Amino acid sequence: MRVISSQWSIVRSVFCSALCAMLFALCASAEAQQPTKIPRIGYLTGASLTASPRREAFRQGLRELGHVEGKNIIIEWRAAEGNRDRQRALAAELVRLKVDVIVASSGGDTRAAKEATATTPIVMALELPKLSRVAVLGTSTSPGNAQVFKETEIAAGALGVKLQYLDVLAAKDIEPAFRAASKGRADAVLEIVSGSIRGGQRKEIAALAIKSRLPLMLERPDHVEAGGLMSYGVSLSDLDRRAATYVDKILKGDKPADLPVEQPTKFEFVINLKTAKQIGLTIPPNVLARADRVIR
């Protein structure tokens, strides 16, 4: 009996060892077959995502690093469309989704994200800590002015910036507008006045901005060359280059009606460092590094 008992003891030991080895192998196999977790990014903007060049630039930056949306990374896009209450709600929503990181596209988005979480990493794409009031020089009678100002209001709301609209109907209104901007304690001036006015008075506008020690932001680089602080807008030279390709297609027999209307794809950021020094403004090196051209 002892011999038999001893044999059964050995059999049980071998069986248990084999069973444990099999279970370990199965567990290891199951772990190996578990799908890799796909990172989830939350992108928060207080403005609109419709036709946003910044959205595509973010995607492009990820692709250059090997991250392809929908393939090995998930992006939760959230846009508040200028509504600050919705901005905070969307930030909280991204936290509930347990995203791995939140990208805040503006100062207002950063504040909303910081209110929503103290643990989720936040990447600040843009921060304007000292800008709270901007004077907007516009021409109410100019076609498209209302739409431009509406879009500007949406962007300002996302940044928590108040706008002071100053109507410039003629050249004689420019100097009073700058006096009103200074009286209203504007931190900067955004010029969207019609081309018929700004074309001939661009040097006067730039000089008044420098005299008032107000940063002047524009959409065309030639106005920065005239003394404005900075511009960001569509590359006009690139538009002309693209126009040449359309001419080429038409000359080769393509029907104009069959050619698609293209959206601008190239934008330019130009800074006048000389003007910055004149108004006592220091441009951070990381901002200068982003400029397509710096006028010294």
Tally Cβ neighbours within 10 Å of residue 44: 29
Cite the DSSP H helix spans in the chain: 2-33, 53-64, 84-96, 107-116, 145-159, 174-183, 195-211, 221-225, 236-251, 273-278, 285-290
Closest among 158, 179, 54 to 113, alpha carbons compared: 158
All residues at 6 or more sequence positions from 254 whose CB lies less than 8 Å from its CB, including other chains: none
> How high is the pLDDT of residue 51?
61
Tell me whether domains 40-124 and 133-295 share a fold. yes
Task: Report the CATH fold assignment for 133-295.
Answer: Rossmann fold (3.40.50)
Query: Which CA distances in Å does 170 have to 10, 50, 89, 105, 215?
Result: 104, 34, 43, 36, 22
Backbone φ and ψ for 130, nearest 5 degrees, come out as -105, 0
Tens-level pLDDT at each residue, the chain (296 residues): 444 444 444 444 444 444 444 444 444 444 455 557 899 999 998 888 776 677 888 888 899 889 999 999 999 999 988 787 899 999 999 999 999 999 988 777 888 898 899 889 888 776 565 678 899 998 888 888 888 888 888 888 777 788 999 999 888 999 999 999 999 989 999 988 766 566 678 889 999 999 999 999 988 888 899 899 999 888 878 888 888 888 888 889 988 889 888 888 888 999 999 999 998 888 888 888 889 999 99
All residues at 6 or more sequence positions from 185 whose CB lies less than 8 Å from its CB, including other chains: 133
Closest among 195, 239, 197, 203 to 224, alpha carbons compared: 203
- 3-state secondary structure string across 143-203: CCHHHHHHHHHHHHHHHCCEEEEEECCCHHHHHHHHHHHHHCCCCEEEECCCHHHHHHHHH
Q: How is the chain split into domains, by residue range?
A: 40-124, 133-295
> How high is the pLDDT of residue 261?
84
Overall pTM > 0.75: no
Beta carbons of 171 and 99 less than 8 angstroms apart: no
Closest among 50, 25, 46 to 111, alpha carbons compared: 46
> How high is the pLDDT of residue 28?
47
Task: Report the CATH fold assignment for 40-124.
Answer: Rossmann fold (3.40.50)
Tally Cβ neighbours within 10 Å of residue 231: 22
Q: Strands 101-104 and 122-124: what pairing?
A: parallel
